[in-house]
Amino acid sequence: MALKISTTLEPFALLTLIHEIEAKLNRERKIHWGPRTIDIDIIFYGELELNENNLVIPHKEVFNRLFVLIPLLELLDKNSKYFSKIEEAVTRLKATTQTVQVVPEEKSAKNRIEQAVYEILAAVGENPEREGLQETPERVAKMYAEILSSERLSKFEEYKLFKIEPAEVDQTILIKDIPFYSMCEHHMLPFFGKVHVAYIPQYGNIIGLSKIPRLVDYVSHKLSVQENITREIAEILNEILQPKGVAVVAEARHMCVEMRGVKKNNSLTKTSFFLGEFNKDINKRMEFLGEIS
Protein backbone atom coordinates (compact mmCIF):
# COMPACT_ATOMS: atom_id res chain seq x y z
CA MET A 1 0.00 0.00 0.00
CA ALA A 2 1.26 3.47 -0.84
CA LEU A 3 0.03 6.60 0.92
CA LYS A 4 0.60 10.27 0.26
CA ILE A 5 0.55 12.38 3.41
CA SER A 6 1.14 15.96 4.45
CA THR A 7 3.31 16.53 7.51
CA THR A 8 5.11 19.25 9.42
CA LEU A 9 7.63 16.71 10.72
CA GLU A 10 11.18 16.73 9.47
CA PRO A 11 12.37 13.42 7.93
CA PHE A 12 14.09 12.03 11.05
CA ALA A 13 11.19 13.06 13.31
CA LEU A 14 8.82 11.33 10.89
CA LEU A 15 11.03 8.23 10.96
CA THR A 16 10.90 8.18 14.77
CA LEU A 17 7.10 8.41 14.68
CA ILE A 18 6.95 5.55 12.16
CA HIS A 19 9.07 3.36 14.44
CA GLU A 20 6.73 4.13 17.35
CA ILE A 21 3.71 3.15 15.24
CA GLU A 22 5.39 -0.11 14.18
CA ALA A 23 6.14 -0.92 17.83
CA LYS A 24 2.50 -0.33 18.83
CA LEU A 25 1.42 -2.64 16.01
CA ASN A 26 3.63 -5.38 17.51
CA ARG A 27 6.21 -5.42 14.73
CA GLU A 28 8.35 -8.56 14.71
CA ARG A 29 11.33 -9.40 12.53
CA LYS A 30 13.36 -12.54 13.17
CA ILE A 31 16.28 -11.83 10.81
CA HIS A 32 17.72 -8.71 9.17
CA TRP A 33 16.16 -8.08 5.75
CA GLY A 34 13.76 -10.91 6.53
CA PRO A 35 9.94 -10.98 6.65
CA ARG A 36 8.27 -8.82 9.27
CA THR A 37 4.75 -8.39 10.56
CA ILE A 38 4.58 -4.69 9.69
CA ASP A 39 6.93 -2.48 7.68
CA ILE A 40 6.45 1.25 7.07
CA ASP A 41 9.02 3.18 5.02
CA ILE A 42 9.54 6.72 3.79
CA ILE A 43 9.80 6.34 -0.01
CA PHE A 44 9.92 10.00 -1.03
CA TYR A 45 9.89 13.19 1.00
CA GLY A 46 8.84 15.82 -1.53
CA GLU A 47 11.85 16.18 -3.80
CA LEU A 48 14.37 15.97 -0.96
CA GLU A 49 17.38 13.70 -1.43
CA LEU A 50 19.09 12.37 1.69
CA ASN A 51 21.77 9.76 2.30
CA GLU A 52 22.38 9.13 6.00
CA ASN A 53 23.19 5.97 7.96
CA ASN A 54 19.61 5.54 9.23
CA LEU A 55 17.66 7.16 6.40
CA VAL A 56 18.03 7.22 2.62
CA ILE A 57 15.57 9.26 0.52
CA PRO A 58 14.41 8.26 -2.03
CA HIS A 59 14.33 4.77 -0.50
CA LYS A 60 17.32 2.88 -1.94
CA GLU A 61 15.19 -0.06 -3.12
CA VAL A 62 12.26 1.87 -4.54
CA PHE A 63 13.24 1.55 -8.21
CA ASN A 64 13.77 -2.20 -7.85
CA ARG A 65 10.34 -3.10 -6.43
CA LEU A 66 7.48 -3.36 -8.90
CA PHE A 67 4.87 -3.77 -6.15
CA VAL A 68 5.95 -0.39 -4.74
CA LEU A 69 6.24 1.50 -8.03
CA ILE A 70 2.83 0.69 -9.49
CA PRO A 71 0.80 2.20 -6.61
CA LEU A 72 3.23 5.16 -6.53
CA LEU A 73 2.32 5.99 -10.13
CA GLU A 74 -1.26 6.56 -8.97
CA LEU A 75 -0.13 9.02 -6.29
CA LEU A 76 2.66 11.08 -7.83
CA ASP A 77 1.98 14.12 -9.96
CA LYS A 78 3.19 13.68 -13.55
CA ASN A 79 5.30 16.80 -13.07
CA SER A 80 7.25 15.14 -10.26
CA LYS A 81 10.94 14.72 -11.09
CA TYR A 82 10.63 11.04 -10.20
CA PHE A 83 7.60 10.23 -12.36
CA SER A 84 9.40 9.39 -15.61
CA LYS A 85 12.06 7.42 -13.72
CA ILE A 86 9.31 5.35 -12.09
CA GLU A 87 7.70 4.68 -15.48
CA GLU A 88 11.04 3.52 -16.88
CA ALA A 89 11.61 1.27 -13.86
CA VAL A 90 8.11 -0.24 -14.20
CA THR A 91 8.75 -1.07 -17.87
CA ARG A 92 12.12 -2.63 -16.99
CA LEU A 93 10.79 -4.69 -14.07
CA LYS A 94 7.77 -5.99 -15.98
CA ALA A 95 10.24 -7.73 -18.29
CA THR A 96 11.65 -9.64 -15.31
CA THR A 97 10.14 -12.30 -13.07
CA GLN A 98 8.49 -9.65 -10.86
CA THR A 99 4.71 -9.55 -11.17
CA VAL A 100 1.95 -7.62 -9.45
CA GLN A 101 -1.56 -8.97 -9.00
CA VAL A 102 -4.50 -6.92 -7.85
CA VAL A 103 -6.12 -8.78 -4.98
CA PRO A 104 -9.89 -8.39 -4.55
CA GLU A 105 -10.74 -6.36 -1.49
CA GLU A 106 -11.43 -8.61 1.47
CA LYS A 107 -14.43 -8.10 3.67
CA SER A 108 -13.66 -6.56 7.03
CA ALA A 109 -13.81 -8.73 10.14
CA LYS A 110 -16.97 -6.87 11.14
CA ASN A 111 -18.69 -7.61 7.82
CA ARG A 112 -17.67 -11.28 7.91
CA ILE A 113 -19.14 -11.69 11.41
CA GLU A 114 -22.35 -9.92 10.38
CA GLN A 115 -22.77 -12.24 7.40
CA ALA A 116 -22.06 -15.32 9.55
CA VAL A 117 -24.60 -14.28 12.20
CA TYR A 118 -27.18 -13.63 9.48
CA GLU A 119 -26.64 -17.17 8.18
CA ILE A 120 -26.85 -18.66 11.68
CA LEU A 121 -30.16 -16.90 12.32
CA ALA A 122 -31.55 -18.28 9.07
CA ALA A 123 -30.14 -21.76 9.78
CA VAL A 124 -31.86 -22.07 13.17
CA GLY A 125 -35.21 -21.20 11.59
CA GLU A 126 -35.38 -17.48 12.34
CA ASN A 127 -36.14 -14.68 9.91
CA PRO A 128 -33.10 -12.37 9.95
CA GLU A 129 -35.18 -9.67 8.25
CA ARG A 130 -37.83 -9.38 10.96
CA GLU A 131 -37.82 -6.13 12.91
CA GLY A 132 -36.27 -7.45 16.12
CA LEU A 133 -33.34 -9.12 14.31
CA GLN A 134 -32.44 -6.67 11.55
CA GLU A 135 -29.66 -5.05 13.58
CA THR A 136 -28.63 -8.20 15.46
CA PRO A 137 -25.72 -9.17 13.15
CA GLU A 138 -24.19 -5.71 13.59
CA ARG A 139 -24.70 -5.80 17.37
CA VAL A 140 -23.06 -9.22 17.61
CA ALA A 141 -20.09 -8.06 15.54
CA LYS A 142 -19.57 -5.09 17.85
CA MET A 143 -19.92 -7.36 20.88
CA TYR A 144 -17.24 -9.76 19.63
CA ALA A 145 -14.88 -6.85 18.91
CA GLU A 146 -15.20 -5.86 22.58
CA ILE A 147 -15.21 -9.16 24.44
CA LEU A 148 -12.58 -10.79 22.18
CA SER A 149 -10.40 -7.69 21.93
CA SER A 150 -7.17 -9.56 22.78
CA GLU A 151 -7.40 -12.01 19.88
CA ARG A 152 -5.20 -9.86 17.61
CA LEU A 153 -2.76 -8.81 20.34
CA SER A 154 0.48 -10.76 20.71
CA LYS A 155 1.84 -9.19 23.90
CA PHE A 156 0.62 -7.53 27.09
CA GLU A 157 2.04 -4.00 27.24
CA GLU A 158 -0.37 -2.01 29.42
CA TYR A 159 1.75 -1.91 32.54
CA LYS A 160 4.35 0.15 34.37
CA LEU A 161 6.94 -1.06 36.87
CA PHE A 162 8.05 0.76 40.01
CA LYS A 163 10.85 0.41 42.55
CA ILE A 164 10.51 0.09 46.32
CA GLU A 165 13.09 -0.57 49.00
CA PRO A 166 13.72 -4.34 49.08
CA ALA A 167 12.43 -5.88 52.32
CA GLU A 168 14.49 -8.24 54.45
CA VAL A 169 11.39 -10.39 54.98
CA ASP A 170 9.29 -11.57 52.03
CA GLN A 171 6.32 -9.30 51.43
CA THR A 172 3.28 -10.69 49.60
CA ILE A 173 1.21 -8.38 47.42
CA LEU A 174 -2.32 -9.70 46.88
CA ILE A 175 -5.24 -8.46 44.81
CA LYS A 176 -8.34 -10.59 45.24
CA ASP A 177 -11.82 -10.71 43.77
CA ILE A 178 -10.84 -9.32 40.35
CA PRO A 179 -13.90 -9.89 38.14
CA PHE A 180 -13.35 -11.43 34.71
CA TYR A 181 -15.45 -12.48 31.73
CA SER A 182 -14.35 -14.77 28.93
CA MET A 183 -15.64 -17.04 26.16
CA CYS A 184 -15.18 -20.80 26.13
CA GLU A 185 -13.25 -21.94 23.06
CA HIS A 186 -15.24 -25.19 22.92
CA HIS A 187 -18.78 -23.81 22.62
CA MET A 188 -18.23 -20.03 22.41
CA LEU A 189 -20.38 -19.58 25.50
CA PRO A 190 -19.45 -17.21 28.36
CA PHE A 191 -17.74 -18.15 31.58
CA PHE A 192 -17.17 -15.58 34.27
CA GLY A 193 -16.12 -15.17 37.86
CA LYS A 194 -13.20 -13.71 39.79
CA VAL A 195 -9.44 -14.05 39.97
CA HIS A 196 -7.08 -13.72 42.92
CA VAL A 197 -3.46 -12.78 42.16
CA ALA A 198 -0.49 -12.58 44.51
CA TYR A 199 3.26 -12.15 44.04
CA ILE A 200 6.37 -11.77 46.18
CA PRO A 201 8.59 -8.91 44.85
CA GLN A 202 12.25 -9.42 44.13
CA TYR A 203 14.91 -6.67 44.01
CA GLY A 204 12.21 -4.12 44.92
CA ASN A 205 10.38 -4.50 41.57
CA ILE A 206 6.60 -4.00 41.75
CA ILE A 207 3.85 -3.42 39.20
CA GLY A 208 1.13 -0.77 39.39
CA LEU A 209 -1.86 -2.26 41.20
CA SER A 210 -4.31 -1.27 38.47
CA LYS A 211 -2.24 -3.15 35.91
CA ILE A 212 -2.98 -6.57 37.38
CA PRO A 213 -6.73 -6.26 36.59
CA ARG A 214 -5.66 -5.04 33.13
CA LEU A 215 -3.58 -8.19 32.79
CA VAL A 216 -6.61 -10.29 33.76
CA ASP A 217 -8.66 -8.50 31.09
CA TYR A 218 -5.93 -9.01 28.49
CA VAL A 219 -5.74 -12.75 29.12
CA SER A 220 -9.50 -13.31 29.36
CA HIS A 221 -10.63 -11.23 26.36
CA LYS A 222 -10.20 -14.07 23.86
CA LEU A 223 -11.46 -17.59 23.27
CA SER A 224 -9.90 -19.74 25.97
CA VAL A 225 -10.46 -22.16 28.82
CA GLN A 226 -10.23 -21.36 32.52
CA GLU A 227 -7.14 -23.51 33.02
CA ASN A 228 -5.22 -21.52 30.38
CA ILE A 229 -6.36 -18.16 31.74
CA THR A 230 -5.11 -19.06 35.22
CA ARG A 231 -1.73 -20.21 33.92
CA GLU A 232 -1.22 -17.31 31.47
CA ILE A 233 -1.87 -14.66 34.12
CA ALA A 234 0.80 -16.22 36.31
CA GLU A 235 3.33 -16.71 33.51
CA ILE A 236 2.99 -13.20 32.08
CA LEU A 237 3.27 -11.60 35.53
CA ASN A 238 6.31 -13.78 36.23
CA GLU A 239 7.93 -12.75 32.93
CA ILE A 240 7.32 -9.04 33.54
CA LEU A 241 8.40 -8.86 37.18
CA GLN A 242 10.74 -11.82 37.72
CA PRO A 243 9.40 -12.03 41.32
CA LYS A 244 10.21 -14.63 43.93
CA GLY A 245 6.83 -16.24 43.40
CA VAL A 246 3.41 -15.85 41.77
CA ALA A 247 0.06 -17.35 42.80
CA VAL A 248 -3.17 -17.23 40.81
CA VAL A 249 -6.56 -18.75 41.62
CA ALA A 250 -9.60 -18.38 39.37
CA GLU A 251 -13.17 -19.37 40.12
CA ALA A 252 -15.93 -19.16 37.56
CA ARG A 253 -19.37 -20.22 36.40
CA HIS A 254 -19.52 -21.75 32.92
CA MET A 255 -22.58 -21.34 30.72
CA CYS A 256 -21.52 -24.40 28.71
CA VAL A 257 -22.14 -26.38 31.92
CA GLU A 258 -25.26 -24.54 33.08
CA MET A 259 -27.12 -23.88 29.79
CA ARG A 260 -26.40 -27.12 27.92
CA GLY A 261 -25.19 -30.65 28.54
CA VAL A 262 -25.42 -31.54 32.23
CA LYS A 263 -27.20 -28.25 33.04
CA LYS A 264 -25.85 -27.93 36.58
CA ASN A 265 -26.85 -24.46 37.72
CA ASN A 266 -24.56 -22.36 39.93
CA SER A 267 -21.70 -24.89 39.79
CA LEU A 268 -18.32 -23.26 40.43
CA THR A 269 -15.02 -24.28 38.86
CA LYS A 270 -11.76 -23.38 40.66
CA THR A 271 -8.31 -23.49 39.08
CA SER A 272 -4.91 -22.53 40.51
CA PHE A 273 -1.36 -22.03 39.30
CA PHE A 274 1.76 -21.40 41.41
CA LEU A 275 5.30 -20.38 40.48
CA GLY A 276 8.48 -19.87 42.49
CA GLU A 277 8.11 -19.67 46.27
CA PHE A 278 4.37 -20.34 46.15
CA ASN A 279 5.10 -23.59 44.34
CA LYS A 280 8.01 -24.68 46.55
CA ASP A 281 6.87 -23.43 49.98
CA ILE A 282 3.63 -25.02 51.13
CA ASN A 283 3.33 -22.53 54.02
CA LYS A 284 3.33 -19.55 51.66
CA ARG A 285 0.83 -21.31 49.42
CA MET A 286 -1.50 -22.13 52.33
CA GLU A 287 -1.23 -18.55 53.62
CA PHE A 288 -2.31 -17.26 50.19
CA LEU A 289 -5.19 -19.73 49.97
CA GLY A 290 -6.29 -18.76 53.46
CA GLU A 291 -6.34 -15.07 52.52
CA ILE A 292 -8.72 -15.63 49.60
CA SER A 293 -11.04 -18.18 51.20
**Mean per-residue pLDDT over the chain, rounded:** 93
pLDDT band at 103 (very low <50, low <70, confident <90, very high): confident
pLDDT at 23: 86
What does DSSP say about strands 269-276 and 245-254: parallel, antiparallel, or unpaired?
antiparallel
In angstroms, the CA 164 to CA 243 distance is 13
pLDDT at 29: 72
Summarize the confidence of residues 98-121 as an average pLDDT. 91
Q: How far does CA 99 lie from the centroid of its chain? A: 33
Summarize the confidence of residues 82-111 as an average pLDDT. 90
**Would you say residue 283 has pLDDT above 80?**
yes
Write phi, then psi, for 99 (nearest 5 degrees). Answer: -135, 155
Give residue-wise pLDDT tens across range 13-64. 999 999 999 888 887 777 766 677 788 999 999 999 999 988 999 999 999 9
pLDDT at 216: 98
Neighbours of 24 (CB within 10 A): 10
**% the chain with pLDDT above 90:** 77
Give residue-wise pLDDT tens across range 210-230. 999 999 999 999 999 999 999
Summarize the confidence of residues 102-115 as an average pLDDT. 89
pLDDT at 33: 63
Closest among 286, 287, 292, 281 to 196, alpha carbons compared: 292
- When mean pLDDT is compared across 92-96, 103-107, 239-243, 250-254, the lowest value belongs to 103-107
Neighbours of 15 (CB within 10 A): 19
In angstroms, the CA 159 to CA 207 distance is 7
In angstroms, the CA 105 to CA 99 distance is 19
Task: List, in sequence order, every beta strand (DSSP E) within the chain.
Answer: 50-51, 56-57, 161-163, 173-184, 190-200, 205-207, 223-224, 245-254, 269-276
Which comes out higher in pLDDT, residue 197 or 160? Answer: 197
pLDDT at 266: 84
Give residue-wise pLDDT tens across range 181-201. 999 999 999 999 999 999 999
Write phi, then psi, for 270 (nearest 5 degrees). Answer: -115, 135
pLDDT at 93: 94
**Would you say residue 112 has pLDDT above 90?**
yes
- When mean pLDDT is compared across 111-115, 120-124, 166-170, 218-222, the lowest value belongs to 166-170
Residue 20, CA distances (Å) to 26, 30, 137 in order: 10, 18, 35
Q: Evaluate whether 186 touches 160 at the Cβ level (below 8 Å).
A: no
Summarize the confidence of residues 157-171 as an average pLDDT. 89
Closest among 1, 10, 44, 37 to 21, alpha carbons compared: 37
pLDDT band at 265 (very low <50, low <70, confident <90, very high): confident
pLDDT at 262: 83
pLDDT at 263: 85
* HEC string for 24-53: HCCCCECCCCCCECCCCCCCCCCCCCEECC
Q: Evaluate whether 143 touches 109 at the Cβ level (below 8 Å).
A: no
Summarize the confidence of residues 129-155 as an average pLDDT. 95
